[in-house]
């Protein structure tokens, strides 16, 4: 865990997304929650040293950002599209998945449920707690329902997976051109630090780099459309991606991610 400013703590080492908590004079605000019970319990014990959790903000509609909500007190706040995704998630399916993938880890507890947002918004919401302000803004990109969380008193922005550092973005639900527009909007914040959805904490000067990554995927998809290639072909033969400087791992999962990302891009850009 890193303390990046006077009141902002970030963990970039959990199995899922990056997790942040902010200590205010009236309690704690979490931004995203750990995916595995082991990480969630560890995070809960750490946070308990700093106060009581009052609010949980989920930055986007993917399980690696919200599964751990169950383990924490506090009201969940998120975009209405995130609430829909959480309500559609199936705890039994997660239980089976975890048994297969991580048989030695602490299993999903008996009473587990996907704890949904009780406060939602569509474009903007401002939360005030103690002396802190949390400006939530819908910035479509990685999905249409991404939220940027700006904490002006700390000069920190939690970006969601609209910004990822040192890993490839996942574009299976992306809205690519809106994503490029949103990346310009992050430049407007008076911020010293960006907490990306995954990877190391960075500074706003990383944003052009992130735009280049998204643009590279768009360029590769446009070339694939010109050549009449399918997402499956792109997944099998990654030379076109490499030509656009997109480095894909060789693991089956990495390849599947390419296939899903490309299928979405080909559909959206056609």
Question: Least distance (Å) from Zn ion to the CB of residue 164?
Answer: 9
Question: Least distance (Å) from Zn ion to the CB of residue 144?
Answer: 12
Cβ atoms 33, 43 nearer than 8 A: yes
Can you tell me which of 59, 62, 146, 150 binds Zn ion, judged by CB under 5 A? 62
Task: Tell me if 132 contacts Zn ion by CB under 5 A.
Answer: no
Candidate segments 82-90, 131-139, 158-166, 175-183, binder of Zn ion by CB under 5 A: 158-166
* Closer CB to Zn ion, 132 or 142, in the complex: 142
* Closer CB to Zn ion, 62 or 115, in the complex: 62
Half-sphere exposure of 240 (CA within 13 A, CB side): 23
Question: Least distance (Å) from Zn ion to the CB of residue 198?
Answer: 8
* Closer CB to Zn ion, 24 or 162, in the complex: 162
* Closer CB to Zn ion, 74 or 141, in the complex: 141
Task: Tell me if 161 contacts Zn ion by CB under 5 A.
Answer: yes
Cβ atoms 221, 262 nearer than 8 A: yes
- Nearest alpha carbon to residue 159 among 195, 131, 132: 195
Binding site for Zn ion (CB under 5 A): 62, 161
């Amino acid at each position: 865990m890193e303390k990046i400013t006077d009141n902002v703590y970030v963990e970039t080492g959990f199995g899922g997304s990056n997790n942040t908590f902010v200590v205010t004079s009236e309690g704690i605000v979490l931004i995203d929650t750990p995916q595995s019970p082991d990480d969630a319990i560890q995070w809960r014990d750490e946070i308990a040293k700093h106060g009581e959790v009052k609010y949980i903000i989920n930055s986007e509609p993917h399980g690696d950002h919200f599964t751990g909500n169950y383990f924490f007190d506090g009201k969940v706040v998120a975009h209405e599209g995130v609430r829909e995704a959480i309500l559609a998630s199936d705890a039994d399916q997660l239980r089976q998945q975890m048994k297969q993938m991580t048989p030695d880890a602490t299993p999903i507890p008996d009473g587990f449920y996907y704890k949904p947002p009780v406060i939602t918004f569509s474009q903007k919401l401002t939360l005030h707690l103690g002396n802190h302000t949390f400006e939530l803004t819908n910035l479509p990109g990685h999905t249409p329902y991404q939220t940027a969380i700006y904490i002006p008193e700390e000069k920190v922005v939690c970006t969601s997976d609209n910004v990822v550092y040192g890993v490839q973005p996942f574009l299976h639900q992306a809205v690519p051109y809106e994503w490029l527009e949103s990346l310009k909007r992050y430049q407007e914040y008076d911020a010293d630090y960006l907490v990306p959805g995954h990877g190391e904490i960075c500074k706003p000067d990383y944003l052009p780099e992130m735009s280049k990554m998204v643009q590279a995927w768009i360029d590769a998809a446009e070339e694939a459309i010109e050549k009449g290639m399918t997402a499956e072909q792109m997944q099998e033969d990654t030379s076109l991606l490499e030509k656009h400087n997109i480095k894909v791992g060789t693991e089956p999962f990495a390849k599947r991610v390419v296939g899903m990302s490309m299928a979405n891009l080909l559909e959206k850009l056609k």
